[in-house]
Amino acid sequence: QKEVEQDPGPLSVPEGAIVSLNCTYSNSAFQYFMWYRQYSRKGPELLMYTYSSGNKEDGRFTAQVDKSSKYISLFIRDSQPSDSATYLCATPHGSGNTGKLIFGQGTTLQVKP
Amino acid sequence: EPEVTQTPSHQVTQMGQEVILRCVPISNHLYFYWYRQILGQKVEFLVSFYNNEISEKSEIFDDQFSVERPDGSNFTLKIRSTKLEDSAMYFCASRDGGGVETQYFGPGTRLLVL
């Protein structure tokens, strides 16, 4: 069983739509969750991180964690063409305090003007 | 805003040659990482480095790979004898060692082995 799974998409939405991006994870020991945005052929850029179950909001972005179902979501409100990118969920999990990140496959989002 | 930088942005090499990929992490960060991403695949962890030694490495990080922090600012990944399957994007990342384990990534080095 893969540790972190994402539907790779692609997901295509019109400008202004609400976007929902999702991940599932298998290990209940995972505690922190991050969302990274990756533009084509660029490095991952940290968007948000969450620790506990519940919601965390930052501007147009809301991250949600449901630890009971091992489900992570990122919502984008009023999506813009500049949001077109691949969105990666990740969780740190390493021996000791190494904090190595385990990534999902990434979901490719296209926001059409 | 501080950022992780990497050089070169692109590297083309012949199979069997040695390559060194360079990174300058964010200056007050304590933990350093290398990841790679083969085209169309997941970002994969290679190695983590803390207190001047490797703290964890993946199965990918075999004897052909080594890392070094030769001075207070640079962090390097060396591949001794490159293989075709080493062709990938290599990302350096760093974090400050605080309570939240968020890592900041560099722009990557695209390595092509011919």
Calculated CA dihedral for residues A50, B33, A109, A53, nearest 10 degrees: -10
Structure confidence at residue B75 (pLDDT): 96
pLDDT band at A54 (very low <50, low <70, confident <90, very high): confident
Q: What is the pLDDT of residues A61-104, one digit of tens each?
A: 999 999 889 999 999 999 999 999 999 999 988 665 677 899 99
Residue B71 or A94, more confident: B71
Residue A42 or A110, more confident: A110
Q: Which residue of B has its CA nearest to A96?
A: B55
The residue ranges of DSSP E strands in A16-79, in sequence order, are 19-25, 33-38, 45-50, 54-58, 61-66, 71-76
Around Cβ A10, how many Cβ atoms within 10 Å? 11
Asked which of A62-71, A90-99, B52-61, B98-107 is least confident by mean pLDDT, the reply is A90-99
Contact call for residues A71 and A22 (beta carbons, < 8 A): yes
Residue B80 or A41, more confident: B80
**Which among A31, A100, A105 is the top mutation candidate for probing chain B, defined by the most B β-carbons within 10 Å of its own β-carbon?**
A100
The residue ranges of DSSP E strands in chain B, in sequence order, are 5-7, 10-13, 19-24, 31-37, 43-50, 53-57, 65-68, 75-79, 88-95, 104-105, 109-113
Structure confidence at residue A19 (pLDDT): 96
Nearest-CA distance from B17 to chain A in Å?
Answer: 24
Q: What is the pLDDT of residues A17-38, one digit of tens each?
A: 999 999 999 988 888 899 999 9
How many distinct helices (H) and strands (E) make up chain A? 0, 11
- Given a cut of 60, whether residue B35 has pLDDT beyond it is yes
- Whether B91 sits inside 8 A of A43 (CB atoms) is yes
pLDDT band at B28 (very low <50, low <70, confident <90, very high): confident
Does the beta carbon of B102 lie under 8 angstroms from any beta carbon of chain A? yes
- Given a cut of 60, whether residue A1 has pLDDT beyond it is no
- Given a cut of 70, whether residue B15 has pLDDT beyond it is yes
Q: What is the DSSP letter of B7?
A: E
Say how many residues make up chain A.
113
- Whether B45 sits inside 8 A of A51 (CB atoms) is no
pLDDT band at B67 (very low <50, low <70, confident <90, very high): very high
d(CA B90, CA B8): 11
As a whole number, mean pLDDT of residues A106-111 equals 95
Q: Count Cβ–Cβ pairs < 8 Å, chain A vs chain B.
A: 69
pLDDT band at B70 (very low <50, low <70, confident <90, very high): confident
Structure confidence at residue B66 (pLDDT): 97
Burial annotation A64-89 (CB, 10 A radius, 16+ → b, else e): bbeeeebebbbbbeebeeebbbbbbb
As a whole number, mean pLDDT of residues A46-74 equals 90
Structure confidence at residue A92 (pLDDT): 85
* Strand, coil or helix: B98: coil
- Chain B residues with beta carbon closer than 8 angstroms to that of A90: 43
- Chain A residues with beta carbon closer than 8 angstroms to that of B48: 94, 98-100
pLDDT band at B82 (very low <50, low <70, confident <90, very high): very high
